[in-house]
Structure 1
Amino acid sequence: MKNLLRNRRIEKKLKTKDVAQALGIDQALISKFENGTRKPTKEHLFKLAEILDIAYETLLVAWLKDKIYAEIGTDQFVYEAILQVKEEMAFYASFKRAPLSKKLERILKEIDTFKNELNQFRKYDSFRITQALELEYTFESNKIEGNTLTLKETDLIVNEGLTISGKSMREHLEAINHQEAIAYIKELMDKNTAINEREILCIHNLILRGIYPEDAGKYRKVQVMIKGSSHMPPQPFLVAKEMEELFIWYQTNKNNLHPVILAAEMHERLVTIHPFIDGNGRTSRLLMNLILLQHGYVIANIKGTHESRMSYYNALEACQVENNKEHFLLLIAQTEKECLERYLSIIKPN
């Protein structure tokens, strides 16, 4: 691994002090990582992968290989022992994640059929269609959180710059901010930017800008409770660590899960951590839709009606309290399927 770190740093034209500053550690430690006299921690690996633009899995495998070699060396029975460990790990890995239900697998297949069909008709897409659907997403996502603006009022605020009599400044800002956050995740998609802590904080900063400026783009420093839920989010001093683990989970699983499942999981995991004072739901849904857009799907727009909102909250509650993700995964998959079908119905020639 030492050669991998050094060679990649040189390719990126970075000095050891640059990497040290990004990691928040002493420069001498970087030199020791590169000459093999010290091993980075598992937490360092994730940040090194970001800084040096190396796949996290590649670094993790190299790190584990060095760790195993340092522990057991070249004993004559090492190879046989490793083979037995491999067999046992494969056996237990099959129990780590419950298989997807047949219903969920069926919906995922239907989603991919619609996506493949949509790809054939992308040339008929237009800015006007995209603009209208994104406005609906802003309207519905804010409505879930209690915003009382109508779709038309949202349009007048966002696209005409008008002020709606009788509506609060916060509701106006929520509409404007969310629309700007959509533009930001589309920019991240276009640039193929990696999903990391910085981007999540930037999304959240846009959501709360001008509403809670002191909390925008910052993790909460107080304990919170979720109104109407029995789930208790982690204490504030645990938030940064839980977020770090979230990104490690993402890097480990991003190539192993269906994109719709990956997007739904990241949504649920982020909103369960509840890292912010406010704006957790909107930020989590934007993260979910960033992942969907990156993989060529369309925005999954969860409706803000009472019935839809309660189904959404109940599905999240089942994840957080009962550790049952089936209902939530089904809800997101069904939403994506319906949004794909609608998109097709709009742009597909008669």
Structure 2
Amino acid sequence: MLYRTPALTSKDREVLEGIDKMRHELRHQVLQTPTKWTAGLRKTLTANAIAGSNTIEGYKVDSVDVEDLIDGEQEVATSEANKAETLAYQHAMTYVQSLHDAPGFAYSVWLLNALHWMLQGHHHPRKLAGQFRRRGVWINEPGDPQEVAYIAPDAEQVPALMDELVEWLNQGDPDAHVLVRAAMAHLNLVNIHPWADGNGRMSRSLQTLLIARGGTLAPEFSSIEAWLGKPKNTWEYYKILSRVGGKEWTPDRDTAPWIRFNLLAYHQQSQSVQHRITRSNRCWIDLTEYAERHGIDERQVTALHDAALAGRVRRARYQRAENLSNQQAVRDVRALTEAGLLEAVGNTKARYYVPGPDFPADVLEAVRQPIRLVDPYED
């Protein structure tokens, strides 16, 4: 028996309708926006998801550094352990994203174990990867290693529970909304806790996979992992898992609070992504107009756009984005630096560029405006 999908309240359905509306609007925005404008945003959203999910597990890598690692940069200010966890999660996330339209797709134990290997294979054999755990496991209370928050099912129960979960993933609750099914998949997997390590990230990855398979949005726009990785949300995440999951495997518990928590996450993440797209487009338009007035090549707007939104840009990233030779990229960045639009930080391979003293102040002010997220349950 698994934790069961609850009946939605009228308020849940209202919030879900709002989420659907935003997701369809986002899809329209993305389709109407030139690919050149959205390519960087897709990578940024993926980096935010990876950084958020890893942060929950205690691996601290800034989302901008995650983006640099995705781009192949190695001179990033973090530990080798954090780099390894980030790159492993990136590989798993890339695979999850690639499955969103895979023909003949079906969930299986082997698929989940393969994903787990991508996440945890670099720890094998010290920590068993790609195979179910062979002993009992428990989860400590956050910040208190002396207190047990949850005791997972015995190892002998795991294969049968995972078979049941896979059957449900393929056939269960077919009339439930994809976002609700994704949340329930997360809850069940994290409480089965089938592997020795990496269960939290696997559960969040599975949720992202179900959402991506829903097909409304590209996978990069679908994850709530960045939202979950915000400190106040992470704390609430642990609290609601404890409240709904109980102290041990008790699948007859009320799961409605978990669904409500996830609907809030979906709603606020959609607000955030919508804001990012609008801000990115506005920034691109403003910088293009600025470039035209000051005789700056249109391609150089890419470097300025990255510097404005991410706070920095690397020469190699700009070179790849515009498909330039090394000499072209060096000349372009040097010209922007000499014009005071960019300013170099660091030396040699670790060098990156931030907005310089003559970067248009109105553009920076606009992109730095914070967003006020609305709680749809309080509206």
C-alpha contact (below 8 Å) 1:300/1:335 kept by paired residues: yes
Q: Which amino acid aligns with 2:122?
A: G
**In structure 2, what is the equivalent of residue 225 of structure 1?**
138
User: Is 1:330–2:263 an aligned residue pair?
Assistant: no
1:41-96 alpha-carbon deviations (Å, 9 max, x no partner) = xxxxxxxxxxxxxxxxxxxxxxxxxxxxxxxxxxxxxxxxxxxxxxxxxxxxxxx8
Report the Cα distance in structure 1 between the residues aligned to 2:208 and 2:107, rounded to whole angstroms: 12
Matched residue, 2:310: none
- Relative contact order (alpha carbons < 8 A, sep ≥ 6): 1 or 2 greater? 2
Specify whether residues 245 and 293 from structure 1 end up closer, same or farther in structure 2 by C-alpha distance, changes over 3 A only: same
Match of 1:177 in 2: 88
The Cα of 1:177 is off from its aligned counterpart by 0.7
- Give the CA deviation at 1:98: 4.3
Change (3 A) 1:150 1:116: closer
**What TM-score, normalized to structure 2?**
0.63
Using a 3 Å threshold, how does the CA distance of structure 1 residues 157 and 317 change in structure 2: closer, same or farther?
Answer: same
- Amino acid paired to 2:261: L
The one-letter code sitting in structure 2 at the alignment partner of 1:227 is: N
Cα distance in 1, alignment partners of residues 39 and 67 from structure 2: 15
Relative to its length, the structure with more helix (as a share) is: 1
C-alpha deviations, 1:121-164, integer Å up to 9, x for none?
Answer: 23226221110000000001000001122223323333243144
Q: Is the 8 A contact 2:193 2:199 kept in 1?
A: yes
The alignment-based identity, stated in percent, is: 22
Q: Is the 8 A contact 1:173 1:211 kept in 2?
A: no
- The equivalent residue for 2:309 is none
Q: What whole-Å deviation, never above 9, does each CA across 1:156-189 have from its counterpart, x for those lacking one?
A: 3332431446x44321111001111111011111
1:311 CA displacement: 0.3
Which amino acid counterpart does residue 274 of structure 2 have in structure 1?
A: L
Alignment match, 2:230: 305
Equivalence map 1:62-77=2 (5 Å): none
Is structure 2 residue 46 aligned with structure 1 residue 146?
Answer: no
Does residue 195 (structure 1) correspond to residue 104 (structure 2)? The answer is no
- Structure 2 distance, partners of 1:280, 1:210, is 15
Distance 1:211 1:98, change over 3 A: closer
Q: Which residue of 1 aligns with 2:306?
A: none
Kindly indicate whether the alpha-carbon contact (under 8 Å) linking 2:5 and 2:184 is maintained by their aligned counterparts in 1. Answer: no
Whose strand proportion is higher, 1 or 2? 2
Question: Is 1:108–2:16 an aligned residue pair?
Answer: yes
Give the partner amino acid of 1:189. Answer: H
Alpha-carbon spacing, 1:252–1:303, altered in 2? closer, same or farther (3 Å):
closer
**Aligned residue for 1:50?**
none
Partner of 1:226, secondary structure, is strand
Native 8 Å contact 2:224 2:269 kept in 1: yes
Question: How big is the shift at 1:326?
Answer: 2.3
* Paired residue type of 1:113: K
CA contact (8 A) 2:54 2:86 kept: yes
SS across alignment from 1:231: strand
What SS does the corresponding residue of 1:121 show, helix, strand or coil?
helix
**8 Å contact kept, 1:170–1:211:** no
Shift in Å, 1:209: 2.1
Distance 1:191 1:252, change over 3 A: closer
In 1: Cα distance, 2:63 partner to 2:80 partner: 17
Q: Secondary structure of 2:152's partner?
A: coil
| Larger displacement relative to structure 2 (99-108 or 284-293) | 99-108
Residue 97 of structure 1 deviates from its aligned partner by 6.1
TM-aligned CA deviation for residue 341 of structure 1:
2.3
Aligned counterparts of 1:98 and 1:149: Cα–Cα separation in 2: 36
